[in-house]
Amino acid sequence: MKAFIICSCFLILSGCVYNEESAPRIVYESTSIGPQSLPLPIKHYEKVEKKIDTSVPANWLPDSKIEKKWTAIVLHHSGTDNGNVAIFDKWHREGNHWEGVGYNFVIGNGTDSGDGEVEITYRWSEQRTGAHCKTPDNWANESSIGICLVGDFDRSVPTAKQMQSLVKLISFLQTRYGISKSRIYGHNTTPGARKTACPGKKFPMAQLKSSLNF
């Protein structure tokens, strides 16, 4: 009887072991779903594109390989009734003997370019030092962005479309370079700049700054 019980236990234990050994078949069959049948991570990353600011014209975005760290903005008026980048470029070359127009941006008044049209110059597209605001250490030309609005703001005010474009442009530049309102100057209030009336006594600087976020 004792021998029978021992044999029965042995068979029962042997059966448990056999049943446990059948488990790998289930695992094996589940692993038949090979990696190639699963979504590959690379398919997810292929869809991720570099974020591009589509709220502004593409030519406002400098080439990241040459982009400078700008720290201020200096505003100018042309002091003329009309003008555009091409005209100012000619004047600055022939009259001042510079290599080209001194500003980074020019905003038209509807005469030689569209009312509120923002033109970029080669100094912006090539991220070159400006020639718009001389200071003793040349910091303004080296580190500030020169924006010229076409018009004589000693006699008149900018057009509504010029101001709308100016606010949009400055807001973009503020966000991109972390430039606060305190670093937005008229030519006449730029630290170290020569005495000048630019951008004109009727230029609405206070109104402009109240329209900006920070």
Q: Which fold has domain 63-210?
A: Lysozyme-like (3.40.80)
Question: Does residue 81 contact residue 111 with C-beta atoms inside 8 Å?
Answer: yes
Identify the band that residue 31 occupies on the pLDDT scale cut at 50, 70 and 90: very low
Alpha-carbon distances, residue 1 vs 6, 10, 11, 40 (angstroms):
9, 14, 15, 63
pTM over cut 0.85? no
The mean per-residue pLDDT over the stretch 108-128 comes to: 99
Residue written as tokens 């056999």? 18
pLDDT at residue 95 tops 50: yes
Q: What's the CA gap between 71 and 208, in Å, rounded?
A: 19
Q: Left (φ > 0), alpha (ψ -120 to 50) or beta: where does 134 sit?
A: beta
CA distance 187 to 73: 9
When computed from its CA atoms, the radius of gyration of the chain, rounded to whole angstroms, is 34
Tens of pLDDT, residue by residue over 149-206, are 999 999 999 999 999 999 999 999 999 999 999 999 999 999 999 999 999 999 999 9
The residue ranges of every structural domain in the chain are 63-210
Q: Report pLDDT for 53.
A: 63
